[in-house]
Amino acid sequence: MKRLCMGLLMVLVCNASFAQTKLFTKTGSITFFSKTNVENITAKNNKVLSIWEPASGKIEFSVLMKGFEFEKALMQEHFNENYVESDKYPKAIFKGTVENSNSISLTINKNNTVNVSGALTMHGITNQINIPATITINNALVSASASFEVLLADYKIKIPSLVADNINKKIKISINIPLYKSL
Amino acid sequence: MKKNLLLILFAVCIYTAHAQDGSLLSGLEDSTVTEKVTGAFKSTRVINAHSTEMLAKGNLDFRILHRFGFVSDGAKTFFGLDAATMRLAFDYGISNNVMIGIGRSTFRKEIDFFAKARILQQATGAKPMPFSLLVAGGYTIYTGENSVLTKPTLTDRSAYYIQTIIGRKFNSKFSLQLSPIFVHTNTPFNLTDDQSIFALGGGMRYKVSKRVALTLDYHHPFGELADNSTDPLSLGVDIETGGHVFQVHFSNATGMNERAYITQTTGNFFKGDMRLGFNLSRMFKIGKRR
């Protein structure tokens, strides 16, 4: 009986400890930016889901394409209708790993520079990417940021020749997670 | 026995820890998200009729509309291209759900005003909405010369309309809308015409590529109109290029406001009494979006 109790306790402890090691947010932001001589286009989404498991290093992002807000409504419509085809491919998803994740102390104040590698799925196409990122620990609060570039052609997003001068073929993407909360 | 139990428990423990291997986010994704359905039509007009689309807040849509003569007039009028009527219009989005517009047509030198509001927007997700519902109301006043000897008053020159638009984007390609409309003309062009005309309208679009769509716009008026009056029918192609939308179409209607095309359309579309027309829309953004 004692052992059974211990066993039960172990289950609880196990679950609790595994549960504690996941950090989660619903309010991450992704901004993308296209710069050309003709015009600069920028859009932002403030409802990015992300989860990070420091022990294993696993990290995931999920974002609804329709949640990107542009300054010009027409651009937003074209983005959804013509470029990323949000009806067909509603989400962009990243599944990857933070390298040497378990060496990051969640209690020591520090800007940890890390490498994140994994699979980015967008517009129905998956590509392996490897990007530098920063995980900041400040008074036991965890935040993160990264920026990288994607080639539209890699995701089969076609720019018609008529607007080829208005949209950069390389889009700069900035990710900012203001606060990861333990799940 | 107890050892076995312990082992099982341990196994369960390991299992639960590994069960989430597939995706860490699974089960955490928001099921409360409601997504508005957008882009049922490329423009705020199907061809002549109001569509379920709205201008976004702060957007100014400058519209230049042309209608040429009947193709059936033949080579002597270069298949109608010799004659042209036009309407110039400015539409503006006050909010994402309310827009206003002003236009001026050469046909009867008529000025028109309208306001359009979206009451329901089609949505999917947590709070789904199967269709969009809009209302539009307008006022037209003609300033052209009239054959009547007595000078018509402001009231005589006026007409009003109110319309509801119920539409649904069935998939990324196909959208359909119904738009019943009530038009009241204080002094109809033909004095025997009914002052009040109810018409049932339908519009649809089918996207053939990302930037090109086929459109159809049809109304059937109920009531007494001139003998030669016909149902306005338009078939067109929407071509989108950046900030412009070109709508090129064939229509039997001359008028480009609701009073004109509902009550004053003549010509049998299927006997070639159709005219080439185009709507050109150029979007400008005024002020910040939010």
Beta strands in chain B (DSSP E): 34-36, 59-70, 84-95, 98-105, 110-120, 123-125, 132-142, 158-169, 174-178, 181-185, 196-207, 212-222, 233-241, 244-251, 275-285
What are A49's strand-pairing partners? Answer: A62
> Chain B neighbours among A 13-72 (CB < 8 Å)?
14-15, 18, 22, 24, 26, 47, 49, 51, 53, 58, 60, 62, 64, 66, 69, 71-72
Contact of B282 with chain A, judged by CB distance below 8 Å, is answered with no
Q: Is residue B272 left, alpha or beta, with left meaning phi > 0 and alpha meaning psi from -120 to 50?
A: left
Alpha-carbon distance of B117 to B197, in angstroms, equals 22
Q: Is the pLDDT of residue A155 over 70?
A: yes
Q: In this predicted structure, what is the pLDDT of residue A14? A: 47
Alpha-carbon distance of B176 to B9, in angstroms, equals 58
Q: Which residue type is seen at A60?
A: E
Contact of A173 with chain B, judged by CB distance below 8 Å, is answered with no
Alpha-carbon distance of A20 to A137, in angstroms, equals 17
Q: Is the pLDDT of residue A7 over 80?
A: no
What is the average per-residue pLDDT within A52-67? 93
Q: Is the pLDDT of residue A35 over 50?
A: yes
Q: In this predicted structure, what is the pLDDT of residue A2? A: 63
Chain B residue numbers with beta carbons less than 8 Å from the beta carbon of A47 are 30
pLDDT tens digit sequence for B48-81: 999 999 999 999 999 999 999 998 888 998 988 8
Alpha-carbon distance of A106 to A135, in angstroms, equals 10
Q: Is the pLDDT of residue A59 over 80?
A: yes
Q: In this predicted structure, what is the pLDDT of residue A18? A: 46
Q: In this predicted structure, what is the pLDDT of residue A73? A: 86
> What are the residue ranges in chain B where pLDDT is below 50?
17-20
* Mean pLDDT for all residues in chain A: 89
Q: In this predicted structure, what is the pLDDT of residue B9? A: 58
Q: Is the pLDDT of residue A142 over 70?
A: yes
Alpha-carbon distance of A76 to A90, in angstroms, equals 14
What is the average per-residue pLDDT within A9-28? 67
Query: Cα angle at B34 between A23 and B22, to 5 degrees?
Result: 40
Nearest chain B Cα distance for residue A139, angstroms: 26
Beta strands in B121-195 (DSSP E): 123-125, 132-142, 158-169, 174-178, 181-185
Q: Which of B24, B56, B59 sits opposite A22 (nearest CB)?
A: B24
Asked if B16's CB is within 8 angstroms of A60's CB, the reply is no
> Lowest-pLDDT range, A9-13, A154-158, B182-186?
A9-13
